[in-house]
Structures are given as C-alpha cells and as structure tokens.
C-alpha cells in the first residue's frame, strides 16, 4: 500500500532534531531545469504565475535564486518536516518513532511541482510552485507536461517496497492527482473523502478540515501499519466515521 499527499505552501524552515536520517530527491536534475526557468522570471511575473502578492513573490524570487546543489543537512531539510500546512498538522510526523519513519519512508510519497515525487526523508530546499502553474519549461507548456509520466513511473517503482496489495491511497488534492497517469499506474486507486454533516443533514466539504483529515488518515495508516484497504474503515479520529452508504469499492467516505 502506498499513500500520496500534496505538498504545502506553508514551510517550517527551522532546524530540526527529530530524525537524522535523510535521502536525496530522485529528480534533482529535472528540478534544476525548473529552477533555471523560474529564475528567468521577475517578481511581477512570479506574482502572475502564482497569483500571490508582491511580498510572497519576492520571497519566491529569493528562494529560486538561492536554490543550489548539492543538498546537505546544512542547507536543506527533510520534506516531511519542512511542509507545514494542515495535512502535515494532521500527520504530526515530528512525534513519530524511528520505526515509524522507516515505515513512512516506504509507504508515503509527496507530489511536488518542483521535485516531482518526494520521499518523506528526502532533503528539500524551500520553494513555492504549484504543479498546476502554467510555467513552460523547455518545450513543455506547463508543469504537468514537463513531468509527463515521470511521477507515475516513480510511484510504480515505489510499489516494489510498499508491500502487497498494490493499492494507492489517494490523499492528494485533485490538482496534484492530475500529475498521476492512472491508466499507467500498476495499482488500484482508492480515493478518500471527508465531509461535514450540516444541521439539515446535507454534506459539506470544508477545505481546511479535509486537509487536516487527510493527514490524520495518513498518520492512522502509518502508526497502525495498515496493509489492507478494508482496515481503513476503522479510522475515527476527531469524530469522523466511515460511511458505507456513501462509499464504494474505489472510494471510502468519512463523515462527522
């Protein structure tokens, strides 16, 4: 079983003393191509590209300029401890044991516009670049075109170490899952959805809650060493319950 999640815009760049192990991203050569293209943009261009204010664009500009290899623990940090949005608040990786990190490394992947696919302990340098950004790199029109089937092929490799059955638990956003070619994926995909029940009984998606729930589900899988999709139905963190009526073979729905 393999879990995929999205990256986060919010980053924690403070030094960490949680885990000393690290690996390096598999596609740094391709990342360099993206960086070189991004460095051709001025601050106004970056504002338009990412639809952010000038202050954030300036930060992005500086990060692209300062990005450099080789990555070391002195100039980079493990991805799972760098991303700091709601998904990662739900995951709470900083509380994991050494054994948890070993399991995490084999069973979770982070999709990325700059790095393609990151393992949890891959070192990364800070960036903000959504995979849906219309950044043309080389002869490609956008980052989806740039990464092509590279991400899918790397996920297929990961199934060799993630155990059986070969199932992809999709906890990524729709924007990021678009970077995966499901037709070429050598695994069954199971989508996980979370809803809030309103007073009138209708269901509502609240993005901030959904993001945190995705992280909590990933934590549940890691800490319980879950290998069978059927066992995901036991997830009940923070009031969520499995809904058999809304679920099917390819989608598990949780409500609260």
Q: 188 has which bridge partners?
A: 167
pTM beyond 0.85: yes
- What are the sequence ranges of the domains in the chain? 2-255
pLDDT digits (tens, 9 = 90+) for 4-56: 999 999 999 999 999 999 999 999 999 999 999 999 999 999 999 999 999 99
pLDDT, tens digit, 9 for 90 and up, residues 139-184: 999 999 999 999 999 999 999 887 788 999 999 999 999 999 999 9
Q: What is the DSSP letter of 198?
A: P
Pair of tokens at residue 98: 């050494």
Instruction: Give 223-248 pLDDT, tens digit per residue.
Output: 999 999 999 999 999 999 999 999 99
CA distance 38 to 35: 5
- In this predicted structure, what is the pLDDT of residue 161? 81
pLDDT of 70 reads 97
The string of pLDDT tens digits covering residues 196-208 is 999 999 999 999 9
- pLDDT tens digits for range 74-102: 999 999 999 999 999 999 999 999 999 99
pLDDT in tens, 87-142: 999 999 999 999 999 999 999 999 999 999 999 999 999 999 999 999 999 999 99
Q: What is the DSSP letter of 23?
A: B
Residue pair 135/127 in contact by the 8 Å Cβ criterion: no
Euclidean distance between CA atoms 182 and 167, whole angstroms: 12
Spell out the residues 6+ positions from residue 141 whose beta carbon is closer than 8 angstroms to its own: 134
């Amino acid at each position: 079983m393999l879990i995929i999640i999205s990256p986060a815009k919010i980053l924690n760049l403070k030094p960490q003393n949680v885990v000393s192990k690290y690996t390096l991203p598999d596609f740094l050569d391709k990342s360099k191509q993206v960086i070189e293209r991004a460095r051709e943009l001025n601050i106004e261009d970056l504002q338009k590209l990412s639809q952010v204010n000038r202050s954030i664009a300036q930060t992005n500009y500086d990060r692209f300029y300062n990005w450099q290899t080789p990555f070391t623990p002195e100039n980079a940090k493990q991805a799972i401890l760098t991303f700091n949005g709601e998904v990662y608040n739900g995951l709470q990786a900083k509380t994991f044991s050494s054994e948890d990190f070993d399991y995490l490394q084999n069973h979770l992947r982070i999709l990325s516009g700059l790095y393609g696919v990151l393992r949890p302990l891959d070192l990364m340098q800070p960036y903000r670049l959504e995979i849906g950004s219309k950044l043309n790199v080389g002869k490609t029109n956008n980052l989806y075109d740039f990464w092509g089937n590279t991400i899918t092929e790397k996920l297929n490799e990961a199934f060799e170490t993630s155990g059986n059955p070969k199932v992809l638990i999709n906890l990524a956003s729709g924007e990021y899952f678009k970077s995966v070619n499901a037709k070429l994926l050598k695994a069954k995909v199971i989508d996980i959805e979370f809803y809030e029940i309103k007073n009138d009984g209708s269901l509502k998606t609240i993005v901030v809650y959904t993001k945190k729930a995705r992280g909590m589900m990933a934590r549940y899988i890691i800490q319980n060493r879950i290998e069978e999709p059927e066992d995901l139905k036991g997830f009940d963190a923070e009031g969520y319950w499995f809904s058999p009526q809304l679920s099917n073979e390819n989608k598990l729905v949780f409500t609260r």
